[in-house]
Amino acid sequence: MGIIEKMRLDGKAIYVTGGASGIGKSVATALAEAGADVAIVDINLEGAEAVAKEIADATGSKTIAIRCDVTNQEDVEAMVAEVAGTYGKLDACFNNAGICLNVPAEEMTFEQWNKVININLNGVFLCATAAGRVMLKQGYGSIINTASMSGHIVNVPQPQCAYNASKAGVSMLTKSLAIEWAKKGVRVNCISPGYIGTDLTLNSEALKPLIEQWNAMAPMGRLGRPEELQSIVVYLAGDTSSFTTGSDIIVDGAFTCF
């Protein structure tokens, strides 16, 4: 069997949070194209259902759509139980849901701070530990979290202290879980994307001036594309990454190199 065949995900059951749009939708599509059955998880159930149908029609994947608020422990536990119950197992997950608020620190309310931390960091903790409990019982599994280059550098010119702190937290949470579960068959990794041009980003009038500045600073002179993250997650979800755990894979076009 060649490496391409070994990288396929046939028969694997995987959920993706934030799967109704952007990076989540793109990665969910790639996972299904690689043969996995994918649960599209999002707080926007209508959007999740539309993506699940689109992916199923295009790939034949056994998709389901689940509404879940990743900051609500009961929601998360029910979501993981539904995925494992539907497919009979949980091979991998992509904990990707997140938000960003660009607010100067001295003006940021505690409510705004908590909103970002709750979704970006607490949500990853809830999803990763709920999935981890299932995987630990199985004796195997791969957990993939979305961190950010913002956990490695302070982005400019936009003020986003809560986002940066939350993503640095995701990276260290990932490493901590990887160490705890390394001998128990459960791998935990994260990806740290740079600026990615999703439909939401590219269609935002408010972000256009920022995008121009980001591109001017970027070594490659452009934003990344969601599909440029697909192969990393497919790799981490599959068996060829069996010795990869505790990694924070930066995919940023060299933005953090200076």
Q: Which residues are identified as catalytic?
A: 148, 163, 167
What separation, in Å, do the N-terminal and C-terminal C-alpha atoms of the chain show?
A: 41
Tokens of 194: 């740079």
Instruction: Identify the residue whose tokens are 């979501």.
Output: 79
Separation between Cα atoms, residue 248 and residue 233, nearest integer Å: 12
H helix or E strand, kind and range, residue 186: strand 186-193
Within a 10 A sphere around the Cβ of 10, how many other Cβ atoms?
A: 10
Closest CA to 227 of 22, 76, 90: 22
Q: Are 51 and 38 in contact (CB under 8 A)?
A: no
Pairing of strands 92-95, 141-146: parallel
**Where does residue 244 fall: left (phi above 0), alpha (psi -120 to 50 degrees), or beta otherwise?**
beta
